[in-house]
Structure 1
Amino acid sequence: MKQKKNIILLASLMSSLVLTGCASNDELIAQQKNQTEQMSVLESKVSTLESQVGTLEAELQKQKETDSEIYQTVRKLDVAQGELKAQAQQQADKAVMYYTIKQDDTLYSIAREQGIALEDLLQLNPKIANPKRLLIGDVLNIK
């Protein structure tokens, strides 16, 4: 009888250990399921982020191409502007090389207006016979 009690007691103890082990396995299974769900959510987020990175990289490449085109256009415009400046300077230089005498002009007033010395103006215009007598409409060299 005592042996029967010990066997029943031992069976009860083993039964409760098995149930405890099962409860622990259930908890582990629940944790594993929870972790699997979390990993799935994280994988989804990573996939979304990778897609966004791909989109941003494509946009960045397009922007680089646009920037390159803009840079090339600006360079072309700079070159064209430089050429136009050179042409304008040449035309300005040619335009300023001569001066047409107007009413009340004197050699002194013309020299002062053009920023040159009176003596230089006379040297540039040896055809002037009488510096005190200028004719309206005559053209003077000033460079």
Structure 2
Amino acid sequence: MKQKKSIILVASLMSSLVLTGCASNDELIGQQKQHAEQINTLESTVSTLESRVTTLENELQAQKEIDKDIYQEVNKLNTEQGKLKQQAQQQVEQADKFYTIKQDDTLYSISVEFGLTVDELLQLNPKIENPRRLLIGQIINIK
């Protein structure tokens, strides 16, 4: 920043020296004042821009922190979702092992539906005492 000011000041003085032989002192003083005003304006503009850059850098850093937090939460949710999917799959597999007796069901109709024999159903369900008497809502093993 100081180097820019020095360069601008040197350029201003050099241009003033070049004009020394061509212009009066009053003209030179006027030009120097004009150059000084331009330098002040440029310094003010640079200062404003530096302030904006600092603000944007701070906002970017804050956004990076927010993004990091969001990324961590997304990873947690993905992990949790994976666990839930696995649990759901296990429940589906577990549900496939059982059948709930409905009205008009017989061991024969159930065995045909699931590709089993009546004897296989009876082996899977030793609690069935009377194969001809099923209760609606009763849950039996089918695998």
Q: How high is the TM-score relative to the length of structure 2? A: 0.65
- What is the aligned counterpart of 1:136 among 116, 134, 137? 134
What is the percent sequence identity of the aligned residues? 55
Equivalent position of 1:33 in the other structure: 33
Distance in 2 of aligned mates of 1:90 and 1:142: 16
Correspondences of 1:10-21 after superposition (within 5 Å): none
Distance in 2 of aligned mates of 1:64 and 1:47: 26
Backbone CA RMSD of aligned residues: 2.7
Equivalent position of 1:122 in the other structure: 117
Cα distance, 1:136–1:36 mapped onto 2, change above 3 Å: same
Secondary structure of the 2:122 match is coil
The one-letter amino acid of 2:142's match is I
State the Cα distance separating 1:31 from its structure 2 match: 0.9
Equivalent position of 2:12 in the other structure: none
Q: How high is the TM-score relative to the length of structure 1? A: 0.65
Equivalent position of 1:5 in the other structure: none
Cα distance, 1:124–1:91 mapped onto 2, change above 3 Å: farther
Number of aligned residue pairs: give it.
113
State the Cα distance separating 1:92 from its structure 2 match: 2.3
The answer to whether the Cα contact below 8 Å between 2:121 and 2:142 also exists between their aligned partners in 1 is no
The answer to whether the Cα contact below 8 Å between 2:100 and 2:139 also exists between their aligned partners in 1 is yes
Cα distance, 1:102–1:43 mapped onto 2, change above 3 Å: same
State the Cα distance separating 1:123 from its structure 2 match: 7.6
Unaligned runs of 5+ residues in structure 2 are 1-20, 124-130
Equivalent position of 1:45 in the other structure: 45
Cα distance, 1:101–1:23 mapped onto 2, change above 3 Å: closer
Unaligned runs of 5+ residues in structure 1 are 1-20
